Structures are given as C-alpha cells and as structure tokens.
C-alpha cells in the first residue's frame, strides 16, 4: 500500500505531546536504571535506548493505526520528529550531560596557569556562562573542607 504524502506538512500538537510523553517515560527509565538499580547507563548509548524504544513502539503501532484509525496515524516525518526530539532531550537530561558539560564551565579557570596563558582565553568567555567564584571552582575539583 502506497502512502499518500500529506498536504498539511505542519507538525501537529500531538507530535510534541508524544515527544514529551516519551521523554518523560524515558527519563524515569534512565533514573531507575542508572541511579536506583545501577544496571546500566542507557542515556550514554548511541542512539539513546529510550529513543529507540519509542521509535520501535511508534513503528509497530503505526501500521495498525493506518489500517483501523487513519486519523490517528502518524506520517513518517512525524515519527522521525518524535524520535529526534526524544533522542536529544533524553541525552541532555541524563547524567552524562552533567558529567561532561559542567566541568567545561570551570576547567578553563581551574587549569589556568601563567605557562598556558588561559587567562587570555578566559576573558572572552561570557560571565553569565561560567562560574566566577574561585572557591566554588576549587571545591568542584578538590572537594570541600
């Protein structure tokens, strides 16, 4: 059966609602497996497992929707949009984001020495984007007393 391309190419609200729902479920799944059971860090897989699970669910349910409830069926573009949104949002809300992103905000100041001249680079970093408190920077690497 050949699918017709919809003349209405605008993304519908249901695509965003599905993406939010799958992101919410995926984040609960990630927290449970990563922080409670310590059984795996699925968020750092490529592609993220919750996004693949959402894609598999949509791809398996969509043919039945096309056949029995055509008004609820998703187009290929909508399925791809949901998958992409879930893959990005689940990755950004995972432990990996904190593990990799937050040190980037403090490393240029902590590792700055007269020899490497990081101070020349650091002055171009926006003040709102980086940590300014030297004690907080030191404690993030060496621990608090």
Q: pTM for this one?
A: 0.66
The verdict on 78 and 106 lying in the same domain is no
Alpha helices in the chain (DSSP H): 13-31, 49-68, 76-92, 95-110, 118-122, 134-142
Average pLDDT by stretches of 10, the chain with 145 residues = 55 90 92 75 80 96 94 93 93 74 85 92 90 87 74
- Token readout for 30 is 């990630």
Predicted pLDDT of residue 111: 92
Predicted pLDDT of residue 1: 55
Domain range holding 133? 100-142
The verdict on 138 and 104 lying in the same domain is yes
């Amino acid at each position: 059966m050949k699918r017709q391309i919809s003349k209405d190419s605008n993304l519908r609200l249901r695509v965003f609602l599905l993406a939010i729902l799958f992101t919410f479920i995926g984040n609960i799944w990630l927290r449970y497996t990563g922080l409670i059971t310590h059984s795996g860090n699925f968020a750092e897989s490529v592609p993220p497992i919750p996004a693949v699970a959402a894609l598999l669910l949509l791809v398996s349910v969509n043919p039945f929707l096309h056949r029995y409830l055509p008004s609820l069926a998703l187009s290929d573009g909508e399925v791809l949009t949901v998958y992409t949104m879930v893959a990005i949002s689940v990755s950004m809300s995972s432990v990996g984001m904190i593990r990799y992103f937050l040190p980037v905000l403090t490393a240029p100041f902590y590792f700055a020495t007269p020899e490497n001249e990081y101070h020349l680079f650091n002055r171009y970093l926006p003040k709102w984007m980086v940590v300014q408190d030297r004690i907080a920077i030191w404690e993030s690497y060496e621990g608090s007393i």
